[in-house]
Structure 1
């Protein structure tokens, strides 16, 4: 069974299938990469909770930066956010994002708690 949460015409914010939650890409508000990363991760956490998951159940994260020169600034926030010993598989690359003001976008796939399957 496939469960779609917060579904619109173009996309769903969460799609769950076989105990895995797939989140749509999240961006954040703020002027700096650090600010946008913090806000983005708060949004990821909220969606994970809605999916019956959490940041210690993240399987994979894909991070897009508008400029790879911001890699260290983003990682400073990311490293504080990821629970020790629970780092997911991760990729990070540079991409042109949807708006010129966006500096980071994060896409997450996570396992769901047994109770939420």
Structure 2
């Protein structure tokens, strides 16, 4: 098992065998706009996937946390444009109080390493 980007409380990425486990990704620097936060969060996920040997097509599961029920429609519009058609992962979408007030969306993913062999 390899752990990356630790801060003393948690690691941002853990690789175990051919799986990557990512902590929750957010993008409050995008301002107080759900569409902007979602787009930036997904861009961060793209960066992390590439950095650790995967890509969007190899995401196995996503947990999506949104602050408000009415945010689901806008989130899905952005998500549907981002995720590769035919490669959609399993997904759960939850409405939750998030860790800090400015966070409107948080996404946790599990991905397979590109080129890994299924067992």
Q: TM-score, normalised by structure 1?
A: 0.93
List runs of 5+ in structure 2 lacking aligned partners: none
Matching residue of 1:36: 37
List runs of 5+ in structure 1 lacking aligned partners: none
Matching residue of 2:9: 10
Encode CA deviations 1:20-65: one digit per residue, 9 max, x unaligned: 0000100012221111000000111111111100011000000000
Matching residue of 2:96: 95
**Cα drift, residue 8 of structure 1:** 1.8
Encode CA deviations 1:51-96: one digit per residue, 9 max, x unaligned: 1000110000000000011000000000000011000000001110
CA distance in 2, matches of 1:27, 1:78: 14
Would the aligned equivalents of 1:4 and 1:15 in 2 still touch at CA under 8 Å? yes
Q: CA RMSD in A?
A: 1.0
The aligned length equals 114
Matching residue of 2:75: 74
Would the aligned equivalents of 1:58 and 1:109 in 2 still touch at CA under 8 Å? yes
Task: List structure 1 segments (4+ residues) > 3 angstroms apart after TM superposition.
Answer: none
* Secondary structure of the structure 1 residue equivalent to 2:93: strand
